[in-house]
Amino acid sequence: MAAERRTRSREFAGEIVCVASSALLCVAALFASPSSSHFIGLQGRVEDSGSSGLGYSDAVFLAGFRRPVADPAMLQRPDRSDALRRRLLADFEADRAALEPRMPGVSERELLLAYLTLRVNGSMPVFDPTSGVSDDLARALTSTSGNCATLAMRLMLVLELFGVDAKLVHWWSPAMEGHVFVDVFDPQERRAYFLDPTSNIVIGLASDGRGLLESLESSSPNARRALVEGGLTAFPQCFSLIENAPLDFDEWSQANRLRAVDCAISALTFGLPIATRKWTSGEQAPPARLCELTDAYPTLSGAFASSLETLSGEP
């Protein structure tokens, strides 16, 4: 079992390097994709920000998240897990009034998980296509820039504090070529989630104890699409590229935001069997919990004690 876990950890680390280095290509593909028309049926869950640029209300909303998750001094404390969890809960209480109108009718727990997804993003002012994920805890939690791999790992670390069963997912399908996100089962409310801190997309649905990918696996494409669209919330997103990056744009327009949502819906609807075959055949490492990545990330995987049992009854 230990040898299998080390092999899995090394495979996942290698794929993280590949997917992070190809992240700009994925962004470019979004900009080149034709726009979709089926978003009219999403009942306003993808809010219109105008034909281009970022609307004022969205800009104000994102500005509230433009800060790091932790400071270096906090991470040196012996009680860093409790201290960071308390800080994030205090931030959530202070910021929830801005979040609630965008997710009406959801539970406090679901609102918290959406908040954490946005919080680790830091409004991503800089999209950094640097290859690989560093095993440095301070670098992981004090930065506000990143790419899909670093942001997903940052979210994994934060979710560890809140009793959530989370898996890091390296994904490839024709609709979403090379991406990293987080697949979640929350035992407190028995709900599964797709959490994408790069695109600020949250998808939630009721679960029998499995994560979102496993929950969707046995459904037909039409059923998967209905479940995904019914549980989807897409928040605003804005970022700039690092200096001298091979693309010339400063922020997402509404059209590009819709394309990002379309990629997620199409990938989960039609691409799930493709991704599953790659995991089963060993072509790609399957989704993995932090505790399964100890060989590649010894510091990050052990940074916070697992809270699945001790915090299962708390927000």
**Helix residue ranges per DSSP H, the chain:** 2-21, 23-32, 56-63, 72-75, 80-99, 108-121, 137-142, 148-159, 212-217, 221-230, 254-266, 272-281, 298-301
Query: How much is the pLDDT for 13?
Result: 57
Query: How much is the pLDDT for 304?
Result: 86
Tokens in use for 37?
């028309």
Low-confidence ranges of the chain (pLDDT < 70): 1-54, 125, 131, 240-256, 305-315
What pairing do the DSSP bridges indicate for beta strands 176-186 and 191-196?
A: antiparallel
Query: How much is the pLDDT for 176?
Result: 86
Query: How much is the pLDDT for 47?
Result: 44
The domain segmentation of the chain, as residue ranges, is: 2-300
CB 271 within 8 A of CB 262: no
End-to-end CA distance of the chain: 33
Query: How much is the pLDDT for 225?
Result: 96
Nearest 10 degrees: Cα torsion 243, 15, 113, 95: -10
